[in-house]
């Protein structure tokens, strides 16, 4: 039996999920047009086309954040990883929520031994493929993100809150730990790669008006993963206001056109009477 047909080990699952999250982040940035399409290269991963940023600084930022996520996954402390897209006022517009559930007691567990009844690596690859296919079609579900598509600037503003900024839109990678645990990096002399997140950027900061869309879920038997997209209450409200403004404008234009048509008919009647 090949290693791809044997049950997943804990370490294999951590590595696979971290790698998938990194691929998914690049996909989110491309699909939502946070950055111009020309900075992305077409690749193939999990037997499906994907797009990867070719900007070194952005790539380093993403890989560094994902490595920090993997470090927390090893300890079984991760509840959610959230990719939040924000406007220039730092207001969250969309949250891409990777929910994590560790299914085994990792204390004293041999993390390199296959977990009984766990999924195989080859099966997990097919699930990841399904995740990405659905993620690539997310615009059909939630519509286009009107921000973004600006000229890309190479300057990076990096502030240990795992946020990458350009122009009037930015994204952040937020990690939500179980039981309000502190990131494991805080117990060492090294400065932690995380600082407390702005509440509005987290799932706890979501308003009642926020709309949640489930993308996909997979139960590996080791660490279960689901992905959902949440449109923030602020975004939902703004779009509602836009629709109402457009509807009002259309009504005004229709009324004006009707008045002009009525005026034209009156003028035609007057001309006919004169003749």
What pTM was estimated for this model as a whole? 0.79
Using the 8-state DSSP alphabet, how is residue 172 labeled?
E
- From 74, 93, 33, 71, select the one nearest 82 (Cα to Cα): 93
DSSP H or E stretch at residue 151: none
Burial (CB < 10 A; 0-12, 13-18, 19+), residue 187, is exposed
Q: Nearest 5°: CA angle at 185, between 179 and 187?
A: 85
> What are the sequence ranges of the domains in the chain?
10-238
Which 3 state secondary structure label does DSSP give 168? coil
Per-residue pLDDT of the chain (275 residues; tens, 9 = 90+): 456 688 999 999 999 999 999 999 999 999 998 888 899 999 999 999 999 999 998 999 899 999 989 998 998 888 999 999 988 888 889 999 999 998 887 776 788 888 888 889 999 999 999 999 999 999 988 888 765 444 333 333 333 344 454 457 788 888 888 876 666 654 444 545 565 666 667 776 666 778 889 999 999 999 999 999 998 888 877 777 777 777 777 777 777 878 777 777 777 776 666 66
Class of domain 10-238: alpha beta
- Please tell me the total number of residues recorded for the chain in this structure: 275
Furthest C-alpha separation in the chain = 103
**What pLDDT is recorded for position 134?**
94
CA distance 77 to 184: 9
CA distance 247 to 92: 26
CA distance 258 to 255: 5
DSSP H or E stretch at residue 120: none
């Amino acid at each position: 039996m090949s290693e791809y047909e044997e049950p997943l080990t804990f370490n294999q699952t951590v590595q696979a999920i971290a790698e998938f999250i990194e691929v998914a982040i690049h996909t989110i940035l491309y699909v939502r047009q946070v950055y111009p399409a020309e900075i992305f290269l077409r690749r193939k991963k999990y037997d499906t086309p994907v797009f990867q940023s070719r900007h070194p600084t952005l790539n380093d930022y993403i890989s560094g954040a994902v490595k920090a996520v993997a470090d927390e996954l090893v300890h079984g402390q991760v509840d959610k990883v959230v990719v939040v897209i924000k406007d220039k006022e730092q207001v969250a517009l969309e949250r891409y929520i990777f929910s994590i559930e560790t299914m085994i007691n990792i204390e004293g567990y041999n993390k390199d031994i296959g977990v009984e009844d766990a999924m195989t690596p080859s099966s997990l690859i097919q699930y990841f493929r399904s995740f990405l296919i659905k993620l690539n079609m997310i615009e059909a579900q939630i519509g286009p993100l009107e921000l973004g598509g600006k000229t890309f600037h190479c300057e990076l503003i990096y502030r240990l809150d795992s946020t990458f900024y350009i122009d009037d839109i930015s994204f952040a990678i937020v990690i939500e730990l179980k039981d309000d645990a502190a990131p494991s990096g805080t117990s060492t002399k090294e400065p932690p790669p995380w600082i407390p997140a702005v509440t509005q950027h987290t799932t706890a900061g979501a308003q009642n008006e926020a709309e949640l869309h489930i993308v996909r879920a997979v139960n590996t038997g080791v660490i279960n993963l689901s992905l959902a997209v949440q449109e923030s209450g602020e975004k939902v409200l703004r779009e509602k206001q836009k629709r109402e403004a457009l509807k009002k404008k259309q009504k005004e234009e229709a009324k004006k056109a009707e008045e002009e048509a009525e005026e034209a008919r009156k003028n035609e009647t007057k001309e006919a009477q004169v003749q």
